[in-house]
Amino acid sequence: MRNGGLFTRITAAWALTAAVMLLAACPPRQSIESINRDPGRFHGREITVAGRVVNSFSVMGEGVYEIDDGTGRIWVFSSKYGVPGRSPGIAVTGKIEQGFSIGGRNFATILRETRRRS
């Protein structure tokens, strides 16, 4: 009976450690409204946004797509993961940049994608 209690405590400690490591690795999720309201506050920081893809286009292997989270919209630049079609749900991690141009279009604020979860 004593070994069962020790096993339970070790398993619980391992699970807690794993959960803390996973949470520490994930950048905080931000609302698009808060990013659009004060993009300078997020400039260069890695953040995550989630929503649905409402618009997209690509140029020579790179592209941008627009995400709507219900609070606002933001364009996401993708050079590694391709440009998704319209989707019901996507989460994207990246860094906020300002003054970005692609395919002859200019974007005041954009999220440069580093990771994606569908």
Q: Where are the domains of the chain?
A: 28-117
Give the per-residue pLDDT at 13: 58
Give the per-residue pLDDT at 19: 45
pLDDT digits (tens, 9 = 90+) for 39-95: 999 998 899 999 999 998 887 778 889 999 999 999 999 988 888 887 778 999 999
In angstroms, rounded to a whole number, what is the distance separating the alpha carbons of residues 65 and 111? 10
Backbone angles phi, psi at 104, to 5 degrees: 80, 5
In angstroms, rounded to a whole number, what is the distance separating the alpha carbons of residues 76 and 66? 6
Give the per-residue pLDDT at 114: 92
For range 18-32, the mean pLDDT:
63
The CATH number that domain 28-117 falls under is: 2.40.50.140
